[in-house]
Structures are given as structure tokens and as C-alpha cells.
């Protein structure tokens, strides 16, 4: 396994509604920024491009086709797309670099969730014959998971509120955050229930936005002359879609991916976890074996802004940025997909 460098990452502001801006208009600024920050002038200078998006967010097929129109793919480029979070686009590109078919790659993810009702759109991720017709929305399913945690005595409502208070506080330093501010645990617990046991602030907001990243071999990163962070380990695992067959109070697939990525091989200074609900941050921290010496979600995490299909890539970008700035020596980024953390990716990044 060869080291792969994260050279640049650009993120749009996460907003509730990007209005009339279409996908191309969301993607172009971050792609241009990521390329420029890597010292590259166009997509023609990378060996491979891969993106993540979901047609159902904007309600039209082939969301990624418009994305290609934003790139400047003339002459034609080597390009692929996953109907997943762009963290998996990074994985596809990482494989291309491992096999020597590419030295560098541009990745991007985008999501415009504002046109629909996201929690119900995600009902269509479930078993189409037995579950989707009942329209269980993503928040209700997360509520079942939180309830299982509370009933088993594995978390308290105060711990959930602490996650939210920290997210809002950390997000004050994140110019792209959608939600930030100082709010106490007591104030949060005084808020009414939304879908019990979840209060509205336990749930990530719905956001529009995009992000892009450039990765390359370490040799190429050196030739670009830019600072970089190094991907030392990466793994992703899925578990059953049948919620009744899973122990919802833990994340076995995250535990497997963490072992595969080698999280336990050293101290973790910083972790960015894709936890769309407050209680899930606790599940993930435990699955990753994180202790009190790890700073979790210094950006505020997705409770401060959640661009579907880009948030996983953003977690990698947040960790890489902190390593490049010298704020951390070793960090863990996490991405998820599916109801109640069904599918998870774990990435270990280190300084050069």
C-alpha cells in the first residue's frame, strides 16, 4: 500500500437553500479552488476525476452529467462517478493510484437537498417492498436508535446535548458552518421534543453545497511544492439493511473499518465523524476507540451543516487541513451512508 497525499480541499458555505443556483454553479467554484490550491490550472492536469452525488436529492436523473459539464473535460478526461458520498469517490481514486493508473485525482461531491423533503427522500433507501411503503423517515429511524441507546443506559440525554453544544461552539470557528453559537446543555435540554427522544438540535440540518479535493502520490505532492497530509490507512464496510437484525447501539461496520484502517496503531489527535445525529457521534467515538485526548469534530461536524454526498469528503478535508496547519499530527476521518450508520468508511491521516 502506497501513501497518498491530500493536497487541497475546498468547500462551499453550507446553506439551507442555494436558491436558483444549479449543480454546475455549486461545483465550479470549489473545483476551481481545489485545483488552484494544488497549484494546478485545470482538470486536464490531473490523471483521474471522480465524483459523488445522488439523483434523488434534486429529483432528476443523471445529476453527475451536469457535474461533468462543470469541469472543462475537453479534451476528454478519465472520469468516474459513485452514487455515494464523495468519500467513496476518493476510495475509487485511491485504488487507481495504488494500481499505478493515476498519480493524481480530482474529487468532488455535491448535494442540493433543498428541493425535496430529505428525511422522506431517504425513505426510498430502504427495502422497497416491505419498508419504503411505510415511509419511515431517516429521523424516525435515528430516533429508534437513540431510544435503544437510552433504554440500555449507554447514553443520557445530557450527553446528547453536550455533543450538540460542542458542535455549535466549535462551528463558531468554521466560516462555512450553517449553525453555530454558544448554547448550554441546560438550554438544549429545555427545548421541546421533535421526534422523541430526538430534539430538533439532535438532528443535522438540511444543506445545499459542494466540495472538492485533490489527492496525489507523495512524489507528485512534493513536485507540486504544496504542504500535504498523508492517507496512511483507509477501509470501508457495510452491514445489514435489516435494522431488526443489527445491534443499533454500536457500529460493527465502523469497528471493522477502524481495524482495517489501523486507527489503533497510534494516538489520534483529531477526529471528524460523519454523525448526522448527536447520539451517533457517541456510537462512532466508541467504535473508533477514541479517548478524551482526541478532539472530536473541531469543525462542528455535520450537526453544523450537512451537504449530502459531500459531508464524508469534507470530514477527510477537515482532518487533512488541521494536519497541514500543524494543529494535529495524526487524525481520523469518518464517512457514513444509509439508515442508522449502515455503511461506514474510516480514513487515517498523518503528517508527512
Q: How far is the CB of 94 from another protein (least distance, A)?
A: 8
Q: Compute CA distances 193 → 143, 149, 151, whole Å.
A: 11, 17, 17
Binding residue (CB under 8 A) for another protein from 16, 17, 41, 127:
127
Binding residue (CB under 8 A) for another protein from 64, 110, 228, 277:
64
Site string for another protein, 92-111 (x = CB under 8 A): x--xx-xxxx----------
Are 18 and 26 in contact, with CB atoms under 8 Å apart?
yes
Strand partners, 203: 277
Are 305 and 177 in contact, with CB atoms under 8 Å apart?
yes
* 3-class secondary structure, 182: coil
Q: How far is the CB of 129 from another protein (least distance, A)?
A: 6
d(CA 69, CA 28): 9
Task: For residue 228, state whether it binds another protein (rule: CB under 8 A).
Answer: no
Binding residue (CB under 8 A) for another protein from 91, 108, 110, 274:
91
d(CA 124, CA 138): 10
Strand partners, 283: none
Instruction: Give the residue with the Cβ less far from another protein, 177 or 349.
Output: 349
Q: How far is the CB of 122 from another protein (least distance, A)?
A: 7
Instruction: Give the residue with the Cβ less far from another protein, 179 or 256.
Output: 256
Task: For residue 3, state whether it binds another protein (rule: CB under 8 A).
Answer: no
Binding residue (CB under 8 A) for another protein from 3, 44, 56, 114:
56
d(CA 170, CA 301): 9
Binding-site size, another protein (CB under 8 A): 61
Binding residue (CB under 8 A) for another protein from 338, 346, 348, 349:
338
Strand partners, 6: 215, 229
Place of cell 443520557: 156
Are 156 and 150 in contact, with CB atoms under 8 Å apart?
yes
d(CA 342, CA 237): 9
Task: For residue 254, state whether it binds another protein (rule: CB under 8 A).
Answer: no
Instruction: Give the residue with the Cβ less far from another protein, 1 or 134.
Output: 1
* 3-class secondary structure, 237: strand
**Phi and psi torsions of 312, nearest 5°:** -65, -45
Closest CA to 145 of 51, 1, 279: 279
Binding residue (CB under 8 A) for another protein from 68, 304, 310, 323:
68
Binding residue (CB under 8 A) for another protein from 189, 241, 259, 295:
241
Region near another protein per CB under 8 A, out of 5-13, 73-81, 204-212, 219-227: 73-81
Q: How far is the CB of 331 from another protein (least distance, A)?
A: 22
On the 0-12 / 13-18 / 19+ scale of CB atoms within 10 A, 283 is buried
Task: For residue 312, state whether it binds another protein (rule: CB under 8 A).
Answer: no
d(CA 231, CA 247): 30
Instruction: Give the residue with the Cβ less far from another protein, 55 or 151.
Output: 55
d(CA 341, CA 256): 13
Task: For residue 17, state whether it binds another protein (rule: CB under 8 A).
Answer: no
Q: How far is the CB of 127 from another protein (least distance, A)?
A: 5
User: Interface residues with another protein (CB under 8 A)?
Assistant: 1, 22, 49, 54-56, 59-62, 64-65, 68-69, 71, 73-84, 88, 91-92, 95-96, 98-101, 121-122, 124-129, 132, 235-242, 252-253, 256, 337-339, 342-343
Amino acid at each position: 500500500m502506497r501513501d497518498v497525499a491530500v493536497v487541497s480541499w475546498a468547500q462551499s458555505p453550507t446553506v439551507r437553500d442555494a436558491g436558483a443556483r444549479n449543480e454546475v454553479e455549486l461545483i465550479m467554484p470549489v473545483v476551481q479552488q481545489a485545483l488552484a490550491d494544488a497549484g494546478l490550472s485545470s482538470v486536464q492536469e490531473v490523471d483521474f476525476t471522480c465524483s459523488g452525488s445522488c439523483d434523488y436529492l434534486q429529483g432528476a436523473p443523471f445529476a453527475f452529467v451536469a457535474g461533468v459539464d462543470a469541469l472543462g473535460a475537453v479534451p476528454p478526461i478519465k472520469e468516474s462517478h459513485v452514487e455515494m458520498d464523495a468519500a467513496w469517490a476518493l476510495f475509487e481514486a485511491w485504488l487507481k493510484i495504488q494500481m499505478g493508473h493515476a498519480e493524481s485525482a480530482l474529487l468532488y461531491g455535491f448535494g442540493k437537498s433543498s428541493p425535496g423533503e430529505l428525511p422522506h427522500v431517504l425513505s426510498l433507501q430502504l427495502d422497497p417492498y416491505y419498508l419504503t411503503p411505510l415511509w419511515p423517515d431517516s429521523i424516525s429511524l435515528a430516533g429508534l436508535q437513540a431510544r435503544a441507546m437510552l433504554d440500555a443506559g449507554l447514553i443520557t440525554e445530557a450527553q446528547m446535548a453536550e455533543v450538540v453544544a460542542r458542535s455549535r461552539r466549535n462551528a463558531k470557528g468554521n466560516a462555512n458552518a450553517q449553525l453555530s453559537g454558544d448554547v448550554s446543555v441546560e438550554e438544549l435540554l429545555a427545548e421541546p421534543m421533535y421526534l422523541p427522544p430526538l430534539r430538533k438540535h439532535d438532528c443535522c440540518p438540511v444543506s445545499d453545497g459542494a466540495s472538492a479535493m485533490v489527492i496525489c502520490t507523495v512524489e507528485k505532492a512534493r513536485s507540486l511544492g504544496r504542504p500535504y497530509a498523508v492517507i496512511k490507512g483507509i477501509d470501508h464496510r457495510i452491514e445489514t439493511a435489516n435494522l431488526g437484525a443489527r445491534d443499533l447501539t454500536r457500529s460493527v461496520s465502523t469497528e471493522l473499518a477502524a481495524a482495517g484502517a489501523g486507527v489503533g496503531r497510534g494516538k489520534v489527535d483529531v477526529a471528524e465523524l460523519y454523525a448526522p445525529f448527536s447520539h451517533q457521534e457517541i456510537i462512532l467515538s466508541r467504535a473508533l476507540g477514541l479517548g478524551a485526548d482526541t478532539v472530536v469534530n473541531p469543525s462542528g461536524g455535520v450537526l453544523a451543516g450537512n451537504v449530502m454526498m459531500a459531508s464524508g469528503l469534507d470530514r477527510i478535508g477537515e482532518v487533512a487541513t488541521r494536519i497541514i496547519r500543524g494543529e494535529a499530527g495524526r487524525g481520523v476521518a469518518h464517512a457514513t451512508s444509509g439508515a442508522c450508520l449502515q455503511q461506514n468508511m474510516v480514513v487515517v491521516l498523518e503528517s508527512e
